[in-house]
Amino acid sequence: MSGNATIVAVTDDSFSAEVEKAKGLVLVDFWAEWCGPCRAIAPILDQLATEFDGQAKVTKVDVDANQRTTMQFNVRSIPALLFFKDGKHVDTVVGITPKANLQDRIRKHLG
């Protein structure tokens, strides 16, 4: 995981408070240490967290350490980016996705 202070590590125990009770847009990156595509998308998420700081919150869930949350949202392939707006799951993107596509999705949900 990156050292970017704007990305919040979320666990099974903190998911409700950090994501489901959050106001506004929250991106949740379901990832794992051993996942090559997850490592490849990490710098893009760092950039998005900085670019949309104050507008959208970017979080990460380690699927190996937090299986309850992973199963709750039926995450089977990673990286999986789930978008939550005011605590409701509104969108999902699975796999490596170009930064421009993610920017468009974020703007769509912010609008």
Annotated catalytic residue 38: yes
Instruction: Count Cβ neighbours within 10 Å for each residue of 23-54 and write b for 16 or more, e otherwise.
Output: eebbbbbbbbeebeebeebbebbbebbeebee
Is residue 75 in a domain?
yes
Catalytic option among 8, 32, 35, 94: 35
Q: Determine the structural domain holding residue 86 and report its residue range.
A: 7-110
Annotated catalytic residue 103: no
| CATH number assigned to the domain comprising residue 20 | 3.40.30.10
Q: What is the pLDDT of residue 6?
A: 82
* Residue 72 to residues 10, 69, 83, Cα–Cα distance (Å): 14, 5, 15
pLDDT (tens digit per residue) in 2-43: 444 589 999 999 999 999 999 999 999 999 999 999 999 999
Can you give the pTM of this predicted structure? 0.93
Based on the structure, what is the number of domains in the chain?
A: 1
Catalytic option among 27, 38, 61, 80: 38
Is residue 31 in a domain?
yes
